C-alpha cells in the first residue's frame, strides 16, 4: 500500500498547494483513532484555517471536492467524509488495501526498510563497569540499544555499536582490594571486611582462579594470574579481564554484539583527558577557585558551574566523558545516541556544555540520550532482590535461565524506557495468550503450520489474484500490514522500540481474528491462494518485526 499512499500524498500535496502557497508540506495521512472512522485521515484543513482565515470545515469541503477530481483518489478511495471540526476521513477501496500483500511478498525481509543514505550513527549502550556480572538494568539497556540499532538500520543508517568500559577509577580499586581480601581468606561479615567491598560469590571465584594462576582470555587481552596475594596491580588486571570475559559471555547469550569496546583507561594513557582540559583552558571556559579547576557550564544552560579538576589533582567523572565524546565527533559520528540509566540525568548538561565549550563546532544537542529506569523482578508473587552469585541484585543471566532470551528481550522492550517496569517471571514462561511474546510467536508458528499443510511453492503466491480479499477481517489485517513501514520510521525517530512490541501484538491479534473468521485452505483455488498470500505476508512482517527486537520467530510451538 506504500505505492497507493505515495500516489494519494502526491495528489493531496498538489491540491493543498493550490489552496495556499507552501501548504504542500502539510500533506500527510494520520491513523484514525477508531477503525469505524475510516482507513486514513487528513487534518490539513484544521492547519490551514488560520492562514486562510476560513472555517476549517469549509476548507475541508473545498478540499474534498478537489480531491474527488484527482485520478489517484478516484482509483483508490471509495469515500471521503468530513468529521468533527474539519477532519477528512478516507475509506480505501479493497484493491488499495490488497496492494500491500504484493509489496510484502516482493520485498521480503526488506519490506519497510529505507535504502542506504550513507549517514552514520554511533550507539553506545550497556557500558557496564567491569566490577561484577551484568544486572537486569544492563539487560534492559542491552535490549534497548540493540533494538534501536536495528531500527536505525531499517532506515538506511550505517550503525556502529560501542561499549564503553569504565576500567579506571575508585570502583576498579575497590574490585581489586575485594578480590585481594578474598584471596587472603576473608569474607563478607568477617572483622576487617570493608563496607564498600563487593560481596558476591563471583569475587571468591576470581580470587580462587587468581590463586590457581589461571589464564583469562577476554576480547582484547589475555592475562595470566601471578598467584601472589600482594600483587595488587596483577589482581586488578586479572579481575578486570575475568569480568570482561564474563560480561561478554552474558552478552553473547543475549545475542548482543558490539563493533568496538572503548576503554576509559585509554583516554588517560593516550593523553586525551589532559588534552581536553587544556583545550577548555585555552578556550577561556575555565577558572580556578578553592584550589580546583572549574568549567563555566552555566554559559551553556547548566544550573551551576562544575569542578573539572579537584584540589587533589584528580579529575571529576564527567571530564573523561567529555574527552570520550570528542573522540566520537572526531571519528566522524555527527549522530550519537547514548543509552544510559536515569541516574545519569545530571551528567547530560555538563557533558554537552564541555563539548560545546571545546570549540570544535559540536552542536548543542550532541549527543542524544535515551534514559531508562531500573527493573523490578517478581517470581512466585514475590519481588526478587538479590542473586547469590552477584550478592545484591538479579543478574541478566539469572533472568535468561529462568525464562528465555526471547522473553527477556520482548518484556524489557515492552514499555517506554523511562517508565518503571516489573518483570513477571511466571508470566514470561506461560504458554498462553496472556504472555505477549508467546502470543506473537504463536501467530507466526500458526501461519507456518498452515503453509506447511498447504505444501505448495511460496513463489506462486506472489502472482495470486488478490480480489477475494474483500472481507472485513482480511481488510483489517491488510491495514495492519500497511502500517509497518510507518511504525519502523516513527520508532527509529523517537528511539521507541516499545512501539514495535505494541504493533506486533496488534498484528498478531488481527491475524488470530482473521484465522478464526475465515478458513484458509478452502477448496476454491483462487480464494485459497489469495488467503495464503495474505497470511504469508503476515508471517513475513511478524518475522521482520521480531528481528528488530532481537526475538526469534519459531515455525512451530
- Boundary of a domain, candidates 38, 71, 92: 92
Which domain does 73 fall in, by range?
Answer: 2-92
Please check whether residue 123 lies inside any domain of the structure: no
Sequence length of the chain is: 557
Which CATH number does the domain housing residue 67 bear? 3.30.1360.70
Residue in the structure block whose three cell numbers are 476560513: 54
For residue 36, the Cα-to-chain-centroid distance in whole angstroms is 32
Residue 527: predicted pLDDT:
98
pLDDT score, position 31:
87
pLDDT score of 136 = 93
pLDDT at position 388 is 59
- For 172-195, the three-class secondary structure string (H helix, E strand, C coil) is HHHHHHHHHHHHCCCCCCCCCCCC
Q: Cell 472481507 appears where? A: 471
> Which of 45, 75, 92 is the C-terminal boundary of a domain?
92
Cβ 418 vs Cβ 373: under 8 Å:
yes
Number of domains observed in the structure of the chain: 2
On whether residue 127 sits in a domain, the answer given is no
216 within domain boundaries: no
Phi, psi angles (nearest 5°) of residue 176? -60, -45
Backbone angles phi, psi at 332, to 5 degrees: 95, 10
CATH number of the domain at 543, please: 1.10.730.10
Report if residue 415 sits inside a domain: no
CB 495 within 8 A of CB 507: no
Overall pTM > 0.85: yes
* Residues sharing a CB contact under 8 Å with residue 503, sequence separation 6 or more, in sequence order: 483, 484, 487, 545
- Whether the CB-CB separation of 98 and 471 falls below 8 Å is answered with no
What's the confidence (pLDDT) of residue 337? 98
> Does a structural domain hold residue 500?
yes
The answer as to whether 457 is a domain residue is yes
pLDDT in tens, the chain (557 residues): 889 999 999 999 999 999 999 999 999 999 888 888 899 999 999 999 999 999 999 999 999 999 999 999 999 999 999 999 999 999 999 999 999 999 999 999 999 999 999 999 999 999 998 999 899 999 999 999 999 999 999 999 999 999 999 888 888 999 999 999 999 999 999 998 999 999 889 999 999 999 999 999 987 889 999 999 999 999 999 999 999 999 999 999 999 999 999 999 999 999 999 999 999 999 999 999 999 999 999 999 898 999 999 999 999 989 999 999 999 999 999 999 999 999 888 899 999 999 999 999 999 999 999 999 989 999 999 999 876 566 678 889 999 999 999 999 999 999 999 999 999 999 999 999 999 999 999 999 999 999 999 999 999 999 999 999 999 999 999 999 999 999 999 999 999 999 999 999 999 999 999 999 999 999 999 999 999 999 999 999 999 999 999 999 999 99
For residue 436, give Cα distances in angstroms to 100, 411, 507, 510. 25, 8, 12, 14
Q: How far apart are CA 210 and CA 225, in angstroms?
A: 5
As a whole number of angstroms, the distance between CA 444 and CA 462 comes to 19
What are the helix (H) ranges across 158-300?
A: 170-183, 201-211, 232-253, 264-269, 272-282
Which of 45, 64, 92 terminates a domain? The answer is 92
44 in a domain, yes or no?
yes
Q: Given this model, what pLDDT does residue 385 score?
A: 82
495 within domain boundaries: yes
Amino acid at each position: 500500500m506504500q505505492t497507493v499512499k505515495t500516489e494519494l500524498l502526491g495528489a493531496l500535496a498538489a491540491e493543498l498547494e493550490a489552496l495556499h502557497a507552501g501548504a504542500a508540506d502539510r500533506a500527510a495521512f494520520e491513523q484514525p483513532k477508531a477503525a469505524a472512522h475510516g482507513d486514513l485521515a487528513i487534518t490539513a484543513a484544521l492547519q490551514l484555517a488560520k492562514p486562510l482565515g476560513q472555517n476549517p470545515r469549509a476548507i475541508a469541503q473545498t478540499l474534498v471536492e478537489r480531491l474527488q477530481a484527482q485520478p489517484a483518489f478516484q482509483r483508490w478511495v471509495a469515500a471521503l467524509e468530513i468529521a468533527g471540526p474539519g477532519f477528512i476521513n478516507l475509506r480505501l477501496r479493497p484493491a488499495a488495501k490488497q496492494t500491500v500483500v504484493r509489496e510484502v511478498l516482493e520485498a521480503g525481509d526488506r519490506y519497510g526498510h529505507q535504502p542506504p543514505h550513507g549517514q552514520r550513527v554511533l550507539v553506545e549502550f550497556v557500558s557496564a563497569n567491569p566490577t561484577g556480572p551484568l544486572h537486569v538494568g544492563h539487560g534492559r539497556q542491552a535490549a534497548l540499544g540493540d533494538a534501536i540499532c536495528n531500527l536505525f538500520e531499517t532506515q538506511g543508517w550505517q550503525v556502529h555499536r560501542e561499549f564503553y568500559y569504565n576500567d579506571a577509577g575508585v570502583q576498579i580499586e575497590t574490585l581489586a582490594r575485594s578480590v585481594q581480601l578474598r584471596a587472603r581468606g576473608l569474607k563478607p561479615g568477617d572483622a576487617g571486611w570493608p563496607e564498600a567491598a563487593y560481596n558476591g560469590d563471583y569475587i571468591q571465584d576470581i580470587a580462587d582462579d587468581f590463586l590457581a594462576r589461571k589464564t583469562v582470555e577476554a576480547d582484547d587481552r589475555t592475562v595470566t594470574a601471578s598467584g601472589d596475594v600482594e600483587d595488587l596491580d596483577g589482581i586488578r588486571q586479572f579481575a578486570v579481564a575475568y569480568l570482561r570475559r564474563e560480561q561478554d559471555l552474558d552478552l553473547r547469550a543475549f545475542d548482543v554484539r558490539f563493533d568496538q569496546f572503548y576503554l576509559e583507561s585509554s583516554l588517560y594513557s593516550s593523553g586525551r583527558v589532559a588534552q581536553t582540559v587544556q583545550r577548555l583552558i585555552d578556550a577561556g571556559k575555565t577558572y580556578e577557585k578553592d584550589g580546583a579547576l572549574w568549567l563555566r557550564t552555566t554559559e551553556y544552560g547548566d544550573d551551576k558551574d562544575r569542578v573539572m579538576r579537584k584540589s587533589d589533582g584528580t579529575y571529576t567523572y564527567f571530564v573523561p566523558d567529555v574527552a570520550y565524546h570528542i573522540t566520537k565527533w572526531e571519528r566522524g559520528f555527527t549522530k550519537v545516541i547514548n543509552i544510559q540509566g536515569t541516574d545519569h540525568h545530571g551528567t547530560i548538561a555538563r557533558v554537552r556544555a564541555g563539548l560545546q565549550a571545546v570549540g570544535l563546532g559540536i552542536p548543542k544537542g550532541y549527543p542524544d540520550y535515551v534514559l531508562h529506569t531500573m527493573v523490578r523482578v517478581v517470581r512466585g508473587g514475590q519481588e526478587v532482590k538479590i542473586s547469590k552469585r552477584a550478592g545484591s541484585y538479579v543478574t541478566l543471566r539469572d533472568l535468561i535461565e529462568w525464562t528465555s532470551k526471547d522473553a527477556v528481550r520482548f518484556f524489557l522492550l515492552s514499555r517506554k524506557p523511562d517508565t518503571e517496569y516489573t518483570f513477571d517471571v511466571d508470566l514470561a514462561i506461560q504458554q498462553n495468550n496472556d504472555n505477549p511474546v508467546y502470543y506473537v510467536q504463536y501467530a507466526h508458528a500458526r501461519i507456518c503450520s498452515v503453509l506447511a499443510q498447504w505444501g505448495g511453492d511460496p513463489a506462486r503466491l506472489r502472482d495470486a489474484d488478490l480480489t477475494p480479499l474483500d472481507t472485513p477481517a482480511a481488510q483489517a489485517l491488510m491495514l495492519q500490514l500497511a502500517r509497518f513501514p510507518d511504525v519502523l520510521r516513527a520508532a527509529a525517530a523517537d528511539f521507541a522500540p516499545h512501539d514495535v512490541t505494541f504493533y506486533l501484538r496488534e498484528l498478531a491479534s488481527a491475524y488470530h481474528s482473521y484465522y478464526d473468521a475465515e478458513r484458509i485452505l478452502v477448496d476454491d483455488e483462487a480464494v485459497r491462494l489469495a488467503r495464503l498470500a495474505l497470511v504469508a505476508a503476515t508471517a513475513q512482517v511478524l518475522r521482520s518485526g521480531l528481528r528488530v527486537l532481537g526475538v526469534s520467530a519459531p515455525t512451530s510451538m
